[in-house]
Structure 1
């Protein structure tokens, strides 16, 4: 009976709560080593790699969250590697409204021992530092309480690969916000040239759309600008409300200016930030949003990308 239950559990991994939905397929022919569900009041979401500080290995960025937690540990079939296992789940996550919070691989993640024994507390995840992959992601869906998904894959010395999948459905909105790492923001700008500023859109009594800017996202963007002193950005506001184009442009400009003002208030030079409001004139990237602000990397003529 236990064997039958295990097989049925592997057929699909689905999470549904209050209209939110997240469905993932398990890795084909993988063995489920561990599976647990729990209510967590202080789930440690690692948003950085493990680094040695005063003889101790600690994660350099993290946040504590609460919600319903589902944990899975898989042993992949023989001759399957850690990267393949990691990408199998990551490609499924990419089908959702995904925001990368942090990603690392190999020795940039720190020691596998730290992840296995200190962080996940699952001994099977102790593998080779050069063959490990970690990712933390936020998925927003039908309700305003997001999913936070953690992926960790590693190959052990015996050449067997393991994947850890932690899925937390938050039970409340984090007022401070869960920000992507500055390194992730830099990667997005260098790869795509832009990213959408994480926000929550609300309407005022007149029906105008406004951003609820969270301080964590401002701090992360400020940190990026500190790391890249030559970086200049354009904040491009979009508004898809049922208003005239002129009014949409006014409101989207206000949203862009709101983020700029928040950055300036924490010490960012105003000359490094330009703002634009284009209303609904760029519908291609709308998705399910009624408004958004894109953070765009400004490339000066003659400069390298």
Structure 2
């Protein structure tokens, strides 16, 4: 009887719970959260990959979204089950902040019901049923790594299931050919501004670029209660151009952040 009790204790020990699936490993670009375990791992596989740049839905059996990035290359993914003391959003935020510190560019970011149905992300986008959970407890982010690794994309998806288990999925995609110009959505710029308090565009060193002007003005006009400061060598020119795009003058003031390009900072 005593040996049976020992066996039961062993089976439910923390060491047994923390074991990763055989042959799995972390992706070097994203640090693992303490005590998380790998429950799904897919080594590099060459395929044609499509990443949504908008909320997803199904119409007449077909997956629909407003924009996408599609390319051929090698995809590697790892899915973590998180320890009970950390939420899926904790892990998502930690991974995002780590990638942003590496100067990764955010392309599309959604949270909760703004992403669409979790079942579609789990089954149709990532092909991983473990990622199916509550629509209001999900988050998705697509990023592009900084040069010279700018032909690499990273997708993050976090979810909390109905049984309260939380997961973080990390996918790295190395494109076989140059990805070319990729632009963030206006809603993503707004979410980044609200979450981090700033938007930095080191590449925008000259007069307003029409494409970026349109993206930034639309982002700012999605929430007309926000005020920002604008810094950079052409800050006043950008401010006037944004006014011309319908951003109210009272919402913008001159900033003092030094740098080579355009910089917007949220005024609290």
Aligned length: 249
Aligned partner of residue 86 in structure 1, secondary structure: helix
* CA deviation after TM superposition for structure 1 residue 105, in Å: 2.6
Q: Cα distance 1:98–1:259, how it changes in 2: closer, same or farther (>3 A)?
A: farther
Q: 2:218 aligns with which of 217, 220, 223?
A: 223
Aligned to 1:294: 263
Q: Deviations over 1:184-220 (max 9, x none)?
A: 322344566641226388xxxxxxxx799694x4542
Does 2:92 match 1:86? Answer: yes
Does 2:237 match 1:268? Answer: no
Counterpart mapping for 1:9-158 below 5 A: 9-10=24-25, 12-14=26-28, 22=29, 24-25=31-32, 28-40=35-47, 42-51=48-57, 58-77=64-83, 81-141=87-147, 143=148, 145-158=150-163
Q: 2:188 aligns with which of 168, 180, 184?
A: 184
Conserved? CA contact 2:140–2:155, under 8 Å: yes
* CA deviation after TM superposition for structure 1 residue 166, in Å: 0.8
Conserved? CA contact 1:236–1:293, under 8 Å: yes
User: For 1:214 and 1:30, how far apart are their aligned partners in 2?
Assistant: 46
* CA deviation after TM superposition for structure 1 residue 99, in Å: 3.2
Q: Cα distance 1:144–1:115, how it changes in 2: closer, same or farther (>3 A)?
A: closer
Conserved? CA contact 1:176–1:214, under 8 Å: no
What TM-score does the superposition give when structure 1 sets the normalisation length? 0.61
* CA deviation after TM superposition for structure 1 residue 259, in Å: 11
User: For 1:81 and 1:92, how far apart are their aligned partners in 2?
Assistant: 17
User: For 2:265 and 2:199, how far apart are their aligned partners in 1?
Assistant: 7
User: For 1:138 and 1:77, how far apart are their aligned partners in 2?
Assistant: 28
Q: Cα distance 1:36–1:160, how it changes in 2: closer, same or farther (>3 A)?
A: same
Structure 1 unaligned spans of 5+: 15-21, 202-209, 238-251, 300-304
Q: 1:196 aligns with which of 194, 200, 204?
A: 200
Aligned partner of residue 71 in structure 1, secondary structure: strand
What TM-score does the superposition give when structure 2 sets the normalisation length? 0.68
RMSD of Structure 2 on Structure 1 (CA): 4.3
Q: Cα distance 1:155–1:84, how it changes in 2: closer, same or farther (>3 A)?
A: same
